Chains A and B, each alone.
Chain A
Amino acid sequence: MKNEQAKKYGMVIDLDKCTGCGACMVACMAENNVPFKKDETNKLDSITWMRVFQLTNGKSFPETDICYIPRPCMHCEGEHGHSPCVSVCPATATDYSQQTGIVSQIYTRCFGCRYCMAACPYHARYFNWWDPVWPNGMEKYLNPNVSPRMRGVVEKCSFCFHRYQRAMEKAFLEGRRELEEEEYQTACTQACPAGAIVFGDLNNEKHKIHQIVNPDPAHRGRPKNPKAFRLLERLGTNPKVYYLSSREWVRRAGDNYLPHEGSGKGH
């Protein structure tokens, strides 16, 4: 294990394929014991580790166009693991793993100061404003690999880290130290009926994600694939979630630009 190659798990979501169906959202809720309330229409207090947003090109009928964009946690690497949220957490309740590139969240250590939420520009973090309550009997479907969170702590997408752990355990038992690409896949990737999500190790040239994204190590993983982009690339958050779109306006909607600035690929 000492000489294991550091992995950098990441995701690429093909927005041309994503239909906005929301299956990834529910796959995530089901896999990760995400609670729900009777009224979830206030999206500012609705826990959705994976949330599918809608982009609009801003044009009027019939030139209007929309595009769906699923937003898990970006597992930002920042500079050397200095992700926006990790660096601010006073209690080290969230951490950047140099081994996997996954930004963890330790619910039992988090004391709910919410500084990490203020730091995350993607609104990928959610606070448990309420005690999680399942209707009588429904707690039977809860997944024992992911502990339900108590009130008062922050939670977010973990890249289904428990699946990584399970896969590693199995590999160790079989005397292996490396995982095959398909051995560790997130619940949302697995569920997506459109096959729009590809998950894998960005450092591993054999993995599909590496081939699709073609990350440029000289520029903090910026994609060389001209169709690929990241959200808010300019902030320097260095996310590990990439998107693909053949539409220029969609790529541009991924970041902020001043009116005179050119396309998203220009910088």
Chain B
Amino acid sequence: MKMDRRSFLSFVIGGAAGTTLSPLPWKLTDDLAIWSQNWPWTPVPEKGEVSYANTTCMLCPGGCGITVRKVGDRAVKIEGTKGHPVNNGGICILGLSGLQLLYGPTRVPSPLRRTGERGENRWQKVSWDEALAWVAEKLADLRGKRLSHTVACISGTDGGTVPRLMERFLTAFGSPNFIRTPSMRDSYEMTLHLMQGAQASIGFDIENADFIVSFGSGILEGWGSPVRMFRANSVWKENGVKVVQIEPRLSNTAAKSDKWLPIHPGTEGALALGLAHVILKESLYRKDFVGTHTSGFDRWSKEVVEEWTPEQVETVTGIDKSTIVDLAKSFANAKKPLAICGRGKGNTAGGIGEFMAVHSLNALMGNINRKGGVWAVPGSDHIHWPEVEMDAVASAGMQQTRIDGAGTDKFMHARHLLHRVPEMINAGDPSLVQALFVLDANPYYTLSDKALLKKAWAKIPFILSFSSFMDETAQNADLILPNHMYLERYEDVPYAEGFNKPFIGLAKPVVSPQFDTLHTGDAILRLAKALGDPVEKAFPWEDYEGCLDDTFGDQWEELQEIGYRVESDFEPGSRNTAFETASRKFEFIPEESKDAAKNVMVKAEGEEPAYPLVLIPYDSPRLASGFIGDPPFMIKTVPDTVLKENDLLVEVHPKTAQSLGISEGKPAVLKTPKGEARVRVHLFEGIMPGLVAMPTGLGHQAYDGYLAGKGINFNDLIGPVEDEVSGLDAAWGIRAKLSRV
């Protein structure tokens, strides 16, 4: 018995000791630790040969050169291209996030044809042949019914070969309805046209200016070419250049400026004229320029001096008159002062009166087409295709008035008026648009007055999106013909927004297409072929690359190698020849449109007391506010004072919040004449009392779980406010009511 117990014990104890001393438990422990360091579900990036490919970023009109680092055939990082004329190595937050778009789950994998109701997001994959044949059949049918002009295209850009191919396609087919999405480009183009007689893009020689007055331009939010503006801002800091930021909210730009002047929103034009008043009264303007190169000065200055006294301007803008006088003097006494406008990123058009008032300040300082000033930059002239030979149907179609009314007697100087389209569609029966193409644009998200838009949308029988991504427009289309995304394709980028030199960037494929996509250029060519003559005849190219090669001719190889073309020694025309107005001078009051500058201020929609507050949008450099959905990286950088879980926080001044009985982070209902949304409130000392500010770029319904459903789309709460002279959408905000829940 005793012995048994003993031997049993020895066995147990000896066994335990033996096991402990054996390598087994130690090996197991070690193996487990190693396993925890190499969990099979934690990805291990594949190694490979490292290479770099240069191309041009197309995520915004900035025109930056980017260098893509590749490992094997994978793109692993996007960086700014050193020595590039626009961005010289810098890059913005959106450009950096590009690979999340390339490899992200929001890509449209192949042509998709809608199966469910529109917007239900139920699709059937179809082959490219099938899809293109289907479109061609629809188009042929419309053309047969002499309804070619009811085909319209909404495009994000208009200068490059792809939009020009699309426009050409519409022309040969017989429709004048190629419509570019709105932005400050519209207003600046019109300003240059009316005051200087130029068909040109606006360029700012910002690096050489020495005093900047910005009427709400989001210099550091993404205005113009964002990276270039950031760089310029740093140069200003180094050289002691003063920046005065005029806007109702302490934006990033305002925070970095030397002086922030909060202003009642919508009255920026009045302030510009108030400054002009002081400059005129004190005779601080450049007589040499004004005397020899301008016309209409006497009448204009009389008006300004009479109507826009500092006292009056103080009442309107809320900025006290001594500040106005001081600012005017500092501006006028600078060597190379520059006045700019276009709110935030310039994603909206804006009232022509305001733009002209601001531009007049530059004219008073003789600051046009000279160092440190505003330059009229001729549009790129790289496209010299043969004239389209139109048949009778095409001619008849092209004779029709554009659906947006641009170029008609009423809106003679406007080129694109997209905001008018929904209303026009709703007015006609049947719809004036029978087929809609959407190219590099997301109007279902970016257009305001959602009720009107949705009604119009439902009336369009056929909607085709060329989007690479499942954005709102694609999700609400009937057919998606996905383009290669920008890192997979060739395309010319014909300008960099606000750049003061003629510039063409070239996007080049840095990776092979990841999905069954087709270059939209090729899609257009194949559609033309499917339709046969006379449309086919207008496209004498085998494929899109052939078209590019032909377009650039002997410059093609050089462009491919360098990746861009810039006229670095470009000088704007001498003032004797630069102005192509009837007077050959800068016209303070344009002969062509004497009323153009009439509406210096545009009222926000809505009336008190139902809507006691004013809602304004604000742009953030960390949000892609509009055309590209924010990739996960960007959303991750959004502060929790802007987005908390899926709730959007609107900014209000603590006093305003207190009067409404709402405290920090609390829910509220925001109501405008156009819509209503549940928001939360963030108290911010940096916003004028009486205002509510809301970020743009959120509230997406499409895309993926990293973006959809987060926040509110500002466009859902606002509607267009048409500038009656120009027709441009001049909305800058809307009256609103905020109530606690």
Contacts and interface: CB of A to CB of B under 8 A. Distances in A.
Q: Do chains A and B touch in the complex (CB under 8 A)?
A: yes
Interface of A: 14, 16-17, 19-23, 25-27, 29-31, 33, 36, 38-43, 46, 48, 52, 54, 56, 59-62, 64-68, 107-108, 131-132, 134-144, 147-152, 187, 190-196
Contacts of B39: 131, 150-151
B74 interface: yes
Given A19-B220, A25-B636, 17 more contacts: A17-B234, A19-B252, A19-B256, A22-B622, A26-B637, A27-B96, A29-B636, A41-B644, A137-B103, A137-B514, A143-B45, A144-B76, A150-B36, A150-B39, A151-B42, A191-B90, A191-B96
12 contacts: A19-B230, A26-B633, A30-B77, A41-B640, A62-B688, A64-B685, A65-B255, A131-B39, A140-B75, A144-B48, A148-B45, A191-B80
A152 B621 CA distance: 33
Contacts of A190: 79-80, 89
Nearest to B79: A190
A249 to B, nearest CB: 13
B42 A131 contact: yes
A65 B92 CA distance: 24
A227 to B, nearest CB: 12
B104 A142 contact: no
Contact of A193 (B78, B230, B636, B688): B230
A139 B43 contact: yes
Nearest to B77: A30
Most buried by B among A22, A56, A131, A134: A22
A65 B104 CA distance: 38
Interface string B97-129: 101101111000000000000000000000000
B270 to A, nearest CB: 18
Nearest to B78: A30
Given A60-B685, A135-B706, A195 B231 contact: yes
B237 interface: yes
The 3 A-B residue pairs whose C-beta atoms are closest, nearest first, are A142-B45, A193-B90, A193-B230
A140 B639 contact: no
Given A26-B637, A144-B47, A194-B231, A61 B688 contact: yes
A17 B233 contact: yes
B42 A140 contact: no
Contacts of A21: 92-93, 220, 230, 252, 621-622
Nearest to B39: A150
A61 B45 contact: no
Interface string B635-677: 1111110011110000001100000000000000000000000
Most buried by B among A147, A152, A195: A195
A61 B39 CA distance: 53
B90 A144 contact: no
Contacts of A147: 44-45
B637 A141 contact: no
Contacts of A65: 250, 255
Given A26-B93, A26-B96, A61-B685, A42 B640 contact: yes
A109 to B, nearest CB: 9
Nearest to A134: B43
B105 A135 contact: yes
B513 interface: no
B43 A131 contact: no
A16 B92 contact: no
A46 B415 CA distance: 46
B274 interface: no
B227 interface: yes
Contacts of A25: 93, 633, 636-637
Nearest to B42: A150
Contacts of A151: 39, 42
A62 B254 CA distance: 11
Given A108-B37, A141-B76, A195 B234 contact: yes
Given A48-B636, A150-B36, A150-B39, A194 B97 contact: no
A61 B262 contact: yes
A224 to B, nearest CB: 20
Nearest to A63: B685
B632 A36 contact: yes
B105 A62 contact: no
Contact of A148 (B43, B47, B255): B43
A164 B103 CA distance: 28
A137 B104 contact: yes
B540 interface: no
A17 B688 contact: no
A40 B640 CA distance: 9
A22 B640 contact: no
A198 B642 CA distance: 30
A171 B229 CA distance: 36
A190 B621 CA distance: 18
B628 interface: no
A194 B39 CA distance: 40
B92 A193 contact: yes
B233 A30 contact: no
Contact of A22 (B75, B76, B104, B637): B637
B213 interface: no
B80 to A, nearest CB: 7
Most buried by B among A33, A66, A193: A193
Contact of A143 (B37, B76, B638, B685): B76
Contacts of A134: 43
Contact of A23 (B71, B91, B102, B231): B91
A165 B256 CA distance: 36
Contact of A194 (B76, B230, B622, B640): B230
B376 to A, nearest CB: 27
B534 interface: no
Contacts of A56: 685
A21 B93 CA distance: 7
Most buried by A among B90, B226, B633, B640: B633
B640 A30 contact: no
B476 interface: no
Given A16-B237, A194-B230, A43 B640 contact: yes
